[in-house]
Every structure is written in C-alpha cells, then in structure tokens.
Amino acid sequence: MGLFRRNGKKRRPAPSGGAAGARPWVDHGLADGDTAECGRCARTLRVALQSASSVTVSHDGALEGMALICTACGRLLCCACALAASDNPYLPRCDRCGGQVTLPVAG
C-alpha cells in the first residue's frame, strides 16, 4: 500500500491483520481527507471515504485525483492506473493482482 499524509506528515496506514487485512477496502487505516500516493505512478491522491451502505455511480472524470483501493490486496491506485490495468474501460482493476478496485469504505 502507498503512503498517506495526515497533517502534512507521511505515514503508512495502520496494519489491521494480514498484509492488507481480511477486508482491505474497510481495514485500511485511512481517514477522510488524507492524501495518499498511487502505488503505480506515485501520484498524490485525495482519500474520500464512502459509507458502507452507499452506492457510488460515477462518470468519466469523477474519480480523477481520488484514491481507489484494491478489494483483494489493498493496493492504492489512481483512476488512470486502475483503468489502464483493465480491458474494460468501465471496470477498473488492480495492476498488481487484477482485483477489483473501489473507493475506500469508512470503518
């Protein structure tokens, strides 16, 4: 997983069981408004946690600059890198393991 910032200081997300936890989209140690680094291109991204009960519908450009997290391995990616790793332009994937990516969920 990439680094993220809180109050201008870089730090790694808190581990929560296993390499990325049993549910990396929830057990990520990120807070809403943090900044994170894309695991592939090192671009700075904004963390926008979503509610576990919400459904997010997106359009081109809506996820630009936002951190996405792999549901399988917990890798943080930008939208451009996640879409580049997929053969479907509407289904972003992890470039490392091929897992689906989503917005991080508030725990």
**What does the pLDDT read at residue 8?**
53
**What does the pLDDT read at residue 11?**
47
- Of the candidates 2, 13, 102, 9, the one whose C-alpha atom is nearest the C-alpha of residue 57 is 102
- Of the candidates 31, 30, 33, the one whose C-alpha atom is nearest the C-alpha of residue 15 is 30
Total domains in the fold of the chain: 1
**What does the pLDDT read at residue 83?**
93
**What does the pLDDT read at residue 54?**
78
The structure's pTM equals 0.75
Domain of 5? 1-107
Mean per-residue pLDDT pooled into runs of 10, the chain (107 residues): 48 40 82 93 94 77 90 94 92 94 88
Angle formed at CA 34 by CA 41 and CA 30, multiple of 5 degrees? 90
**What does the pLDDT read at residue 21?**
59
For residue 13, give both structure tokens: 């997300």
